[in-house]
Amino acid sequence: MRNTVGFDFHPKTGELYFTDNQRDWLSEDLPHDELNRVTKLGQHFGYPYCHQGDLADPQFGWGKACDDFVKPVLLLGPHSAPLGMRFYTGKMFPQKYQNAIFIARHGPWNRTKKYAADVVAVFLNPNGSVKSMEPFLTGLVENNGYLGRPVDVLVMKDGSLLVSDDHAGAVYRISYKK
């Protein structure tokens, strides 16, 4: 692992899922940041030899095979800077969000074209693999500049979701009303 910021345990299986920020200065479009899952002790996720599950590091990857390391369960975009993440265990949002993962993507500092700066929802299959990822909180990039940059998410007792934003100096409360 290179730079793990967000992590949480699956509410039913107890498995640890975590975000991982990959290295800079390979290109604007590589490598992708990751969502990973620990399924047993001693797993190696590739860093510094391999990035995004299939990209050998040009400096440290010589003589290493990416297939020898655990693959990410989801690629989150190049330099998307996934920071905080939580499983949704509240009851306020529709059933489809139950046990989904909310990930705060801070957005890249080093890309010409800004993107991410959002919160995505990741839905899992019963076996723990990723079914899909969809946008949840968007609209924080305008004219290639940031209006906000999410850092972390927190599920409140009432089921609402708090999102911290260090660019705008704000905390957003997202709720759902039927």
Select from 96, 55, 59, 95 the least CA-distant residue to 72: 55
Q: Output the pTM of the full model.
A: 0.95
Domain that holds residue 13: 7-174
State how many domains the chain has: 1
The domain that holds 147 is classified in CATH as 2.120.10.30
Residue 13: is its pLDDT beyond 90?
A: yes
161 CA to centre of own chain = 16
pLDDT recorded at residue 29: 85
Q: Residue 84 falls within a domain, yes or no?
A: yes
Q: Residue 1 falls within a domain, yes or no?
A: no
CB 137 within 8 A of CB 107: no
pLDDT recorded at residue 37: 97
Taking only the tens place, the pLDDT of each residue in 83-122 is 999 999 999 999 999 999 999 999 998 889 999 999 999 9
Q: What are the backbone angles phi and psi of residue 15, rounded to the nearest 5°?
A: -70, 145
Q: Residue 2 falls within a domain, yes or no?
A: no
Q: Residue 106 falls within a domain, yes or no?
A: yes
* Paired tokens of 11: 């509410």
Q: Residue 122 falls within a domain, yes or no?
A: yes
Separation CA 121–CA 63 (nearest Å): 37
pLDDT recorded at residue 52: 95
pLDDT recorded at residue 173: 98
